[in-house]
């Protein structure tokens, strides 16, 4: 990594984030895809469950399946759009790779958090039998799950933006990397639904934090090579 | 300030999918000098410009750009202003918003006076608030000049500088190039050899 003045770097990160947010608010490219996907999937789940009450482990799995595929339909846009519109080179001329990575990561985190809140609210109101008995455990799970999703999907989006088969490659590449995260968040969500105390889920949260730190560090180190050529 | 800038390229080679695009390309460029890179289609003119700009890595060789800057990535990019067919503006934003984000993503404060001055210069001031997607191809080429000159770079890298421009646009670009070479350096990659005599140096790439 080349030497970069810290204050300028931070300003650059925030500007990349603001640019992406402004672009998204104007085009609604990713948000439309995410919202339509979540609504459609939850409607299918409601029709398939009918009046039956599924057990918490099944509903926890379903919640994260919706979030996983919702994220797959929208989070790659941040890099794919740059590549498709030919603005990647514009960004390369303006900012160091690390500033682009962290700006995009921040944007994806905001997007995935909004997706998670929207999906969880729909799930709580519309799906029979989905009750959260330990709200703090649940909020922490959704927050850390969102951080993990954003961290993993941002770097994968940067990789697939350069490929020809972007649409299919994204979930295929993301799944093995997100699998440990998915297993952990499904487990923690089930515990939250059953009313488990915070200390009982502590190990899962430690794993989630480690996962986020390791993945973000690796992505930061690799990003310059992915971004430049 | 610009008197210290210099570009030095040594033994540049680029290979794409086992095809050698060019090799053994060396040149140097000092202040007030202009360099023309010409060659057939596919000979690697744009690739060479991208390597000099630092957005593409050479397979072999090196490019060093020295100049008065704080160093690091921002310092390197602060020395360069680039216009290229591969460089695109954000079409959902207006010309002014594009310049605003160009400044802030560089980590600099937005100088609105400078931006307006450049937009007037490229005759886009009246349309500065319109989204770039509503611009003609010639207007999109003009906004790239405002983008390239916004941070007052001492080195201009111009890939097909006259592309899509009308007579007025071409006159504006010639004026910009002449003005810029008084203190800085200009590197041009083109097949248009109309003004070949005005360049101090010339490299011909063969495909």
Q: What is the mean pLDDT of chain A?
A: 89
Q: Who wins on pLDDT, B100 or B205? A: B100
Beta carbons of B73 and A4 less than 8 Å apart: yes
Separation of alpha carbons A171 and A112, rounded Å: 15
Q: Where are the alpha helices (DSSP H) in A86-201?
A: 88-94, 97-126, 135-160, 166-194
Quick: pLDDT tens for B74-119.
Answer: 667 888 999 999 999 999 999 999 999 999 999 999 999 999 999 9
Mean pLDDT of B128-148: 95
**Backbone torsion region of residue B164, taken as left when φ is above 0, otherwise alpha when ψ lies between -120 and 50, otherwise beta:** left
Share of chain A above pLDDT 90, in %: 53
Quick: pLDDT tens for B151-194.
Answer: 999 999 999 999 889 999 999 999 999 998 888 899 999 988 87
User: Which chain A residues are closer than 8 Å to B145 by Cβ?
Assistant: none
Domains of chain B (ranges; CATH) run: 31-43+70-205 (3.40.50.300)
Nearest to B83 by CA among A43, A89, A27, A10: A89
Quick: pLDDT tens for A165-204.
Answer: 666 788 888 889 999 999 999 999 999 988 888 889 999 9
* Nearest beta carbon to residue A94 from set B86, B92, B102: B102
| Chain B residue whose CA is closest to A26 | B92
Mean pLDDT of B1-23: 82
CA distances for A94 relative to A88, A224, B108, angstroms? 10, 14, 10
Mean pLDDT of B31-60: 91
Q: Who wins on pLDDT, B47 or A71? A: B47
Interface membership of A49 toward B (CB under 8 Å): no
CA B34 to mean position of chain CA atoms: 13
Q: Which residues of A176-199 are buried (b: 16+ CB within 10 A; e: fewer)?
A: ebbeebbebbbbbbbbbbbebeee
Contact B39, B202 (CB under 8 A): no
pTM for the full predicted model: 0.90
pLDDT band at A5 (very low <50, low <70, confident <90, very high): confident
The minimum CA-CA distance between B13 and chain A, rounded to whole Å, is: 15
Window 78-107 of B, Cβ < 8 Å to A: 80, 82, 84, 86-93, 97, 101-102, 104-107
User: Which chain A residues are closer than 8 Å to B74 by Cβ?
Assistant: 4-5, 8, 12, 96
Separation of alpha carbons B44 and A157, rounded Å: 29
SS3 letters for chain B? CHHHCEEEEEEEEEEECCEEEEEEEEEEECCCCEEEEEECCCCCHHHHHHHHHCCCCCCEEEEEEECCCCCHHHHHHHCEEEECCCCCCCCCCEHHHHHHHHHHHCCCCCCHHHHHHHHHHCCCHHHCCCEHHHCCHHHHHHHHHHHHHCCCCCEEEEECCCCCCCHHHHHHHHHHHHHHHCCCEEEEECCCCCCHHHCCEEEEECC
Between helix A77-85 and helix A29-49 the angle, nearest 10°, is: 140
Beta carbons of B74 and A96 less than 8 Å apart: yes
Share of chain B above pLDDT 70, in %: 94
Contact A24, A30 (CB under 8 A): yes
pLDDT of residue A102: 96
| Chain A residue whose CA is closest to B105 | A12
Q: Who wins on pLDDT, A128 or B53? A: B53
Contact B33, B201 (CB under 8 A): yes
Does A99 score more than 80 pLDDT? Answer: yes
pLDDT of residue A6: 84
The minimum CA-CA distance between B108 and chain A, rounded to whole Å, is: 7
Does B2 score more than 60 pLDDT? Answer: no
Contact B83, B148 (CB under 8 A): yes
Separation of alpha carbons B197 and A2, rounded Å: 39
The minimum CA-CA distance between B133 and chain A, rounded to whole Å, is: 11
**Backbone torsion region of residue B29, taken as left when φ is above 0, otherwise alpha when ψ lies between -120 and 50, otherwise beta:** beta
* Nearest beta carbon to residue B105 from set A4, A86, A95: A95
Q: Who wins on pLDDT, A206 or B68? A: A206
pLDDT of residue A1: 47
* Nearest beta carbon to residue B105 from set A10, A12, A23: A12
Does A8 score more than 90 pLDDT? Answer: no
Taking the CA of residue A198 as centre, how many other CA atoms within 13 Å lie in the half-sphere pointing to its CB?
5
């Amino acid at each position: 990594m080349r030497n970069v003045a810290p204050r300028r770097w931070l300003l650059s990160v925030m500007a990349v984030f603001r640019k992406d947010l402004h672009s998204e608010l104007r085009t609604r490219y990713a948000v439309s895809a995410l919202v339509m996907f979540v609504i459609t999937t939850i409607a299918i789940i409601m029709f398939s469950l009918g009046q039956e009450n599924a057990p918490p482990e099944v509903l926890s799995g379903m919640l994260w399946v919706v979030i996983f595929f919702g994220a797959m339909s929208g989070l790659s846009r941040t890099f794919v759009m740059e590549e498709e519109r030919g603005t990647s080179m514009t960004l390369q001329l303006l900012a160091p790779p690390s500033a682009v990575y962290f700006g995009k990561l921040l944007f994806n985190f905001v997007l995935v958090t909004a997706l998670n809140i929207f999906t969880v609210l729909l799930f709580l109101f519309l799906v029979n039998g989905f009750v959260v008995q330990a709200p703090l455990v649940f909020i922490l799970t959704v927050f850390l799950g969102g951080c993990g999703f954003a961290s993993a999907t941002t770097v994968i989006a940067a990789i697939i933006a350069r490929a020809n088969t972007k649409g299919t490659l994204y979930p295929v590449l993301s799944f093995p990397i997100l699998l440990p995260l998915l297993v952990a968040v499904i487990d923690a969500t089930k515990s939250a639904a059953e009313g488990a105390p915070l200390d009982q889920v502590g190990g899962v949260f430690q794993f989630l934090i480690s996962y986020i730190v390791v993945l973000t560090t690796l992505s930061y180190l690799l990003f310059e090579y992915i971004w430049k050529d | 300030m610009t008197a210290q800038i210099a570009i030095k390229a040594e033994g540049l080679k680029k290979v794409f999918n086992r095809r050698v695009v060019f090799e053994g390309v060396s040149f140097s460029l000092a202040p007030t000098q202009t360099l023309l890179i010409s060659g057939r289609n596919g000979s690697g003119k744009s690739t060479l410009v991208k390597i000099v700009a630092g957005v593409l890595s050479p397979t072999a060789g090196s490019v060093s750009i020295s100049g008065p800057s704080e160093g690091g990535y921002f310092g390197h990019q602060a020395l360069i202003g680039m216009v290229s067919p591969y460089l695109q503006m954000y079409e959902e934003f207006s010309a002014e918003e594009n310049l605003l984000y160009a400044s802030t993503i560089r980590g600099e404060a937005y100088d609105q006076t400078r931006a307006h001055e450049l937009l007037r210069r490229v005759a886009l001031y009246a349309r500065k608030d319109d989204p770039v997607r509503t611009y003609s191809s010639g207007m999109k080429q003009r906004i790239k000049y405002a983008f390239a000159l916004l941070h007052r770079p001492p080195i201009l890298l111009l890939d097909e500088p006259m592309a899509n421009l009308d007579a007025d646009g071409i006159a504006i670009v010639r004026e910009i190039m002449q003005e810029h070479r008084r203190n800085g350096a200009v590197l041009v990659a083109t097949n248009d050899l109309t003004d070949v005599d005005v360049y101090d140096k010339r490299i011909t790439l063969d495909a």
